[in-house]
Structure 1
Amino acid sequence: MGRATIKSGTINLLNTIIGAGILAMPYGLKSNGLLFGCLLIIWSSLTSSFGLYLQNKVAKYTQQQGAVSYFSLAQLTYPQLSVVFDSAISIKCFGVGVSYLVVIGDLMPKIMESLNVKDESLFMERNFWITVFMVVLVVPLSYLKKLDSLKYTSVVALFSVVYLICLVIEHYVAHDIPTETLEIDWFGPKSIKSTLSSFPIFVFAYTCHQNMFAIINELKPSETDGSQTRQSNLIIRNAICTAAASYLVVGVIGYLTFGNSVNGNIITMYPKNSISSLIGRLCIVIMVSLSFPLQCHPCRGSVNHVIHFITQGVVSAKVRNQLQREGYTSLTSDIESLNSLASDSIQDESFISTTPMEGAQDTDGHDPIIVPLTSKKFYIITTVIVLSSYLVAITVTSLEHVLAFVGSTGSTSISFILPGLFGFLLIKPLGDATKLNALEKFSKYGGLALAIWGGIVMIVCLSATIFLGATH
């Protein structure tokens, strides 16, 4: 049932990674010094890519490729906490989606101001532009049922990123930005306070883990591209390397252009009346508009899991004991009754093949844990997410501190803590082997280290938010 390819998976994952946060990279280097800031960008790319790698490995070792999700893995580890995990994911994705709408409402009036539109004009109203972009772009794309369906819009969004990169390079090469004294800190770090306050910029720059399982589920083995595991590893490598290169280019060149006078949004530093700068701001609006559905997709899946948990409960103790005796995928008894709702739904109405995919099986032919999502529930949940996001966006003008708390907990959980714990708890010898080989040991105990790192990141980012007023 897979439809995705390495190319489409890379595009969607890359678009999930790169958002408006790329504009804060020069400020991140200013706060840490050029060399140390670049090291933070690279270190953050490595830790995030390892989390994605562990997600891919766990999907393979539990043999749930085609039907893996945070919910299904939680049933094998901490079933009672599955509702907490999915709640964190849904809140995090919802918050990021709302922030995209707020960005639209903030930037479009400024773009109109650059075009000399009068203050009393309807085109200067933030809520007007939020409504327009919701109706024209956000809502239609949010109802697409497969993540792979967003690959073309992701390409458009990535072209906007390319334009922003070219804009930064062009102004640096042209030397057309007047600077009285250009102060640059070449090494760093500058101070503990400045590093901690800017730390979330780097850590959360690569958050895309909420869509990794959906990408894995929509892949299928092929003779040319290899197994799902190989394809997923290539997607991770391509997306992370491209994102890291983009961050380094914008960060370094933007910082070298403005030095220590750079602020948290480099696009505002360029001349307002410049056509190229105007197009750059419009590119940001387009980029965040097309990125909203990439947040809606995992949010919808997690909300569905939470609803399922509340109405159906967790896997019974009998099944968990069976899993311990026979392995992760011997789900032939009570799991079938757990999935009976899906079968009933198929008879009554069309069944949405999202994450996890209906009818997917592991290599032994056992049924994995599937949370049913009917057409009716799909449209109801999507409508609630879209409508709620719109109402919050037109009501609240600033979500910086709320998002900082949500990001410190939700982003850290899905990027580091959960992949690390799943890797540590679920990776075991494959086949007839009785002991872990070197790669399995690295993945297993590296997962434990990643989970610990996630705990440290959460404490640091929450502290920076509370005491230093940091946002991300």
Structure 2
Amino acid sequence: MSVNKYEAADLYRECARGDIEGNERTPLLSGSVQTRTKGASFASSVFNLMNAIMGSGILGLAYAMANTGIVGFCILLVVVSTLAAYSIHLLLKLCDQTGINSYEDLGGIALQKPGKVVVALSIIIQNIGAMSSYLFILKSELPAAIDSFVSRDDAGNAWYDDGRLLLILVTLCVVLPLALSPKIGFLGYTSSIAFFFMLYFAIVVVVKKWYIPCPLPHNMTTLSDAFQISNSSDSDCTPKLFVMSSKSGYAIPTMAFSFLCHTAILPIYCELDRPSKARMQNVTNVSIGLSFLFYLVSALFGYLTFYGNVDSELLHGYLFLHRDIMVMTVRLAILLSVLLTVPLILFPARKAASMLLFEGRPFSWLIHIFLTLTILGAVLLLAIFVPDIRNVFGVVGATTSTCLMFVFPGIFYLKINGGPLRSFDSIGAVFMVVFGFTMAIMSFTFIVITWVHDI
């Protein structure tokens, strides 16, 4: 997920010392050891970074496995997670060289004003995509969650069966008031429980794999329009090691979307106790390694539950378990996680938009409210009208996620470092740029082909 939960909540608590916009050119290691306050522990930093990594992407990884095969998926997941850790290594080297703790400002140093603008736009688009994926989950899961707790005898549709109406009401009554707060650091602590909600989700996926038969009996598919698996044959219940189709193009973008945490790296480094590049790299490696295992287990058992019929939003596949206690509680947990996270993701997007449109101007409630309503309105429209969450993962993952994870760190390193091109990191940076552009073009092409084929 690459969602910027930690940046949104605590981006400036230590670095900015009370300034809402933050002094992002303050060197991370500035100040003497005697005057520097004790920062976050290693374990706390790992937890914070995992909060930044984990997000809605976990719901789409089983679908990615179904369209790449178990072995193909594992290879791609290893490649993407390894390159994500390496690109963070490049960012940390630049951070030590320049003393900058802002992704946008690194773009400004590397490519002047255009670089800063491009990075800010990428962050805005990435976070809008992330927020729309969360609201999409609300739209698809909230009606089922309410219906599972409500007993009714009539077969007609109730008002709460309309996911779009519920989404609008929840956005206006819950998300908007939280998002309007100029300082939402308190939500950073509350959102930490989102990690445990995701952990519970993974446990439920593993447990339910052993209780759901394949092929699914006809009398279990009460929501056949949403979950068309009742006509499955035994051949549909065989795991595949390698799969290649036009839908395979969603795999790498979804993985990039799931591992993106790069805009949160520098603020977390800023708050790390006894900060050093090696120590922060260890934090990164542990966080990405644990997230890798988390993602792999969820994707594998989700795929082995539904095989080729896995839904692009995994939780949606359990709709037929209408009154199952575990499914009911995990659905509530995911929905609560969404509600706590959306306002946090909006914070860095609003900050980037403010930098582009109103840079240098003092804080204004009018500007603050205008940007909040504009961004949230765009997110709401996307969540309402995009028919499939895989489109969000695919398009955003193939464009901004790929750029923020692979392309930008490589370009910035080559521009700022100025070392010999034959050095290991320079060669690695070149590879990152080439890999990022190649994967983005290939993935987006496959996605467009899928759209055309569906039409």
Q: Fold conserved (TM > 0.5)?
A: yes
Q: Which amino acid aligns with 1:90?
A: I
How far off its partner does 1:74 sit? Answer: 2.0
Aligned to 1:379: 368
Match of residue 195 from structure 1? 248
Q: 5+ unaligned residues in a row in structure 1: which ranges?
A: 310-340, 346-373, 430-434
1:226-279 superposed Cα distances (whole Å, 9 cap, x missing partner) = 215345323322321121111111122222333334332332333233121122
Q: Is 1:407 equivalent to 2:397 in the alignment? A: yes
Pair 1:378–1:160, CA change in 2 (3 A): farther
**How far did residue 411 of structure 1 move?**
1.5
Equivalent residue runs for 1:327-346 within 5 Å: 341=360, 345=362
Match among 445, 450, 454 for residue 463 of structure 1: 445
Distance 1:286 1:389, change over 3 A: farther
Partner of 1:212: 265
Map 1:60-459 onto structure 2 (within 5 A): 60-65=96-101, 68-115=102-149, 116=151, 119-134=156-171, 137-143=174-180, 149-172=186-209, 174-179=210-215, 181=234, 183-188=237-242, 190-191=243-244, 193-217=246-270, 219=271, 225-227=273-275, 229-270=277-318, 271-308=321-358, 341=360, 345=362, 374=363, 376=365, 379-380=368-369, 383-385=372-374, 387-389=376-378, 392=381, 396=385, 398=387, 400=389, 401=391, 404-427=394-417, 441-459=423-441
8 Å CA contact 1:143–1:382 kept in 2: the answer is: no
| Aligned equivalent of 1:37 | 73
Paired residues of 2:398 and 2:440 also in contact (CA < 8 A): yes
CA deviations on 1:66-100 (whole Å, 9 max, x unpaired) are xx332343244343343233123212212321332
The whole-number CA distance in structure 1 between the counterparts of 2:265 and 2:370 is 21
Note the C-alpha offset of 1:294.
3.6
Check the 8 A contact 1:104/1:285 in 2, yes or no.
yes
- 8 Å CA contact 2:127–2:349 kept in 1: the answer is yes
The 1:43/1:132 distance shift into structure 2, 3 A limit, reads same
**1:447 and 1:215 mapped to 2: Cα distance?**
23
Conserved 8 A contact 1:97-1:389: no
Q: 1:17 aligns with which of 47, 53, 57?
A: 53
CA distance in 1, matches of 2:283, 2:181: 22
8 Å Cα contact 2:135/2:380 also seen in 1: no
Q: Kindly state the Cα deviation for residue 456 of structure 1 after the two structures are TM-superposed.
A: 0.7
CA contact (8 A) 1:147 1:215 kept: no
C-alpha separation between the residues in 2 aligned to 1:237 and 1:146? 30
Q: Give the conservation status (yes or no) of the 8 Å contact 1:17–1:205.
A: yes
- 2:194 and 2:240 mapped to 1: Cα distance? 32
CA positional deviation for 1:24: 2.5
Query: What secondary structure is seen at the aligned counterpart in 2 of 1:259?
Result: helix
Instruction: State TM-score, norm by structure 1.
Output: 0.73
Structure 2: segments with no counterpart, 5+ residues: 1-13, 18-38, 216-232
Q: Match of 1:427, as an amino acid?
A: N
Equivalent residue number for residue 36 of structure 2: none
Residue 199 of structure 1 deviates from its aligned partner by 3.5
1:59 Cα deviation after fit:
1.2
CA contact (8 A) 2:253 2:402 kept: no
In 2 relative to 1, CA 377–57 (structure 1 residues): closer, same or farther, beyond 3 Å? Answer: farther
In the other structure, the counterpart of 1:57 is: 93
CA distance in 2, matches of 1:8, 1:132: 35
Once the two structures are superposed, residues 328-368 of structure 1 have per-residue CA deviations (whole angstroms, 9 ceiling, x without a partner) of xxxxxxxxxxxxx57xx5xxxxxxxxxxxxxxxxxxxxxxx
For residue 97 of structure 2, what is the amino acid of its counterpart?
A: Y
CA–CA distance in 2 between the matches of 1:104 and 1:57?
39
- In 2, the alpha carbon distance for the partners of 1:148 and 1:428 equals 38
CA contact (8 A) 2:262 2:404 kept: yes
CA distance in 2, matches of 1:294, 1:412: 22
Offset, 1:160: 1.3
Shift of 1:136: 5.7
Among 61, 64, 77, the residue aligned to 1:28: 64
Whether the aligned pair in 1 keeps the contact of 2:410 and 2:430 (CA below 8 Å) is yes
Looking at structure 2, the residues matched to 148 and 48 of structure 1 have their Cα atoms a distance apart, in angstroms, of 27
How high is the TM-score relative to the length of structure 2? 0.75
* Contact 1:147/1:214, CA 8 A, preserved across alignment: no
Contact preservation (8 Å) 1:94, 1:299: yes
Q: Which amino acid aligns with 1:157?
A: A
Change (3 A) 1:209 1:146: farther
Q: How many residue pairs end up in the alignment? A: 393
CA distance in 2, matches of 1:266, 1:40: 19
Residue identity in the other structure for 2:353? V
Stretch deviating more after TM superposition (403-412 or 93-102) = 403-412
Is the 1:52–1:209 contact (alpha carbons within 8 Å) kept by the matching residues of 2?
A: yes
The separation in 1 between residues aligned to 2:368 and 2:44, in whole angstroms, is 25
